[in-house]
Structure 1
Amino acid sequence: MRQIALTLIIAWFALITSEAQSNVTHLGIVNPTARNIEKLIFFKENGFLNLDSLLVTGIFHVSNTNEIKQSHQYLTDHSINFVKIKTIKGELSIDSLFISNRWSQQFENIFKALDGLLFFGGDDVPPAIYGEKTFITTDIIDRTRNWELSFMFHLIGGKQNMDVEPLLEQNPEFPLMGICLGMQIMNVAAGGSLYQDIPSQIYEMDYCEDVAQMPSDRQHKNYLYGIDNTDDKTSYISFHTISIKPHSFLSQFNNLTGICVPSVHHQAVKKLGQNLNVAATSNDGKVIEALEHKRYKNVYGFQFHIDFPELYAEDAAFRISPKKDFRPSASEKDFYKSLWQDFSERIRSNQVQ
């Protein structure tokens, strides 16, 4: 009788453990700096990322020792136990990013353990990777981040090498969101290219003061920031409206006419990568602001930033010039927030399949 009771208890415990495990969400974030972890915690605690029992895997290259140390210290100082740091091991040249390589198995193992992935922003992709010379204004990412392009290529595929089957073929509904550099990495990994400098290449402007005189819809970062080294109040963020493509994933959101998005970039998508469609542009149509994948409907990216916690403060205000502040409206904040909630819903939908 005792044996039967014990067996029933073990079975019951196994059942509830299994059910609990099924409600755990495993989210991967690429480049989990202390700042990016701080952002993630903000979105989790404020209900923007509405996911069950969130466990986060932050992924660095093992050689990114300074950032790894700082992130571990941040996790310790704030007693955060739902974020773990994982490292990619092994060095590769940029000529080996878009083939099966020594990272391929590591990428597959990470992919299989996750319910969704988030690629954050940063500096510029090395132009040599998409076959161009380097502009003077290009501020290249550290070599410890080159692996991110290979990871994205392994995930979604690219025209550089059609023999490598994308990992998303194993789960075409897998959610993957890129923000700013994250979207640019998506495009380059799929075989596309970038404008290395928006003012000079698209608008034929060479000086910050001249760019700052253009209509706000053509300014993709605040070019007044830093040019007066006695000014510590002007924001590096600019705000401009976007034009959403009909039938794109963004067209599901209502009342977006005149909505301004926060923008901090000087590069933009030039030639589209394989299987990518334009979902939004700047109002003049010259700068691509959002991409979506043709085959993998939950793969998409934004050139603008929805990942700044300061956007969501009740009294949020950003100094654009000595005479002008920008205050995001309630509708704009709701739009930014809805994009996080949409990402959450995509992850939940993928989990139940």
Structure 2
Amino acid sequence: MGSQSAQFVQAPLVLVPSCQRVLGRHPFHVVGQKYVDAIRLAGAVPLMVPGASEAELSALLSVVDGVLLTGSPSNVHPRHFDEDVLDERLPLDPVRDAWTLPLIRAVVERGIPLLGICRGLQEVNVALGGSLHQAVQGQPGHMDHRADEALPVEQEYGLAHAVAIQPGGVLDPILRGLDVRQGDEVMVNSLHGQGVKRLAPGLHVEARAPDGVVEAFSKPGGGFNLCLQWHPEWLAASNPVSLRIFEAFGQACRAHQAIRLGLAAPA
């Protein structure tokens, strides 16, 4: 297709799985506004999806150019990595688990650009065969990575600790040359209780916290994909690290769209 066709291409679609909430007495499908805003910042159009059967999933993945897995108050159910629930007081979302885990495997297989955030990172690790610490703060030598919900939200989501960027991956070149990067470190926020216990086979660690907790990983050979334990979507437009990450995700989505529409040849 020529340049005249290319000018009519719309912004790429990014699939966003919703969480399940009971509001009042009725179940709702919800997605946080900050994730929607960040997808638009990346130059893409968010498509919230409440769930999908196998047939619906195939149809959706044939028309989207990226997938963003959001954070959530809920944890991935530990039965998916052969453990019992450690703390019954913590929220779960089995409806989300039931379809995002197969979604992740299909997305990686197809090479569709993928960005996982907080719970999204945990879902990807579990979907691909890894496991999680249900309470990172309870592990010897580990920090308490949880949010302090008593603080104003601006402080709760404030920068909490450095992460050391590992060489030879996806994140290192994305953040290269930033003024806020000191050597191999950038500062990030921290709002999670669960974390990577056993990394799934084939994943590459992209960053670690000072206590060794995996803060970012990717899966080489699966197209653009990057999973982050912190929340880059928070005030992303004013955070240089977040801007670089969402710009890279948006570029990957546009490249996928061009191939899907026949405007570019596969790499």
Which TM-score band applies after superposition, normalised by the shorter structure? Answer: 0.7 to 0.9
1:184/1:268 contact within 8 Å kept? yes
Q: CA RMSD in A?
A: 2.6
Letter in 2 for 1:289: E
Q: Aligned pair in 2 of structure 1 residues 243, 113: CA closer, same or farther (>3 Å)?
A: same
SS in 2 for 1:50: coil
Is 1:352 matched with 2:253? no
SS of residue in 2 equivalent to 1:274: coil
- Does 2:140 match 1:150? no
| Letter paired with 2:255 | S
Mapped contact 2:75–2:93 kept (Cα < 8 A): no
Which of 42, 45, 56 aligns to 1:49? It is 42
- For residues 233 and 60 of structure 1, what CA distance do their matches in structure 2 show? 27
* SS in structure 2 at match of 1:296: coil
Residue equivalent to 1:118: 68
Q: Secondary structure at the match of 1:154?
A: helix
In the superposition, relative to structure 1, how do residues 42 and 279 fare at CA in structure 2: closer, same or farther (>3 Å)? closer
Following superposition, the deviation at residue 351 of structure 1 comes to 2.3
| Counterpart pick for 1:263 among 179, 190, 193 | 190
Shift of 1:35: 5.2
**Structure 1 stretches of 5 or more lacking a match?**
1-14, 62-87, 89-102, 157-165, 205-217, 314-332
Matched, 1:251 2:176: no
The equivalent of 2:22 in structure 1 is none
Q: Is the 8 A contact 2:205 2:216 kept in 1?
A: yes
Q: 1:289 — aligned with what?
A: 215
1:1-353 equivalence runs, <5 A: 18-19=5-6, 21-31=8-18, 36-37=32-33, 39-41=35-37, 44=40, 48-51=41-44, 54=45, 56-61=46-51, 88=52, 103-122=53-72, 123-136=74-87, 139-146=90-97, 147-156=99-108, 166=109, 168=110, 172=111, 174-203=112-141, 218-223=143-148, 225-226=149-150, 235-237=155-157, 239-252=160-173, 253-254=175-176, 255=178, 256-257=181-182, 258-284=185-211, 286-309=212-235, 312=237, 333-353=239-259
The amino acid of 1:31's aligned partner reads S
Gaps in structure 2 of 5+ consecutive residues: 20-28, 260-267
Change (3 A) 1:106 1:187: same
Structure with the higher fraction of residues in helix conformation? 1
Larger Rg: 1
Q: Which fold has the larger relative contact order, with Cα–Cα distance below 8 Å and residues 6 or more apart in sequence?
A: 2
Q: Which runs of 4+ in 1 moved over 4 A?
A: 18-21, 32-35, 231-234
Distance in 1 between residues matched to 2:219 and 2:89, nearest whole Å: 27
C-alpha deviation, 1:34, in angstroms: 5.3
Deviation, 1:297, is 3.5
Identity of aligned residues (%): 22
Structure 1 Cα separation of the partners of residues 70 and 122 of structure 2: 10
Other structure's SS at 1:278 match: strand
- For residue 273 of structure 1, report the CA deviation from its aligned partner: 1.4
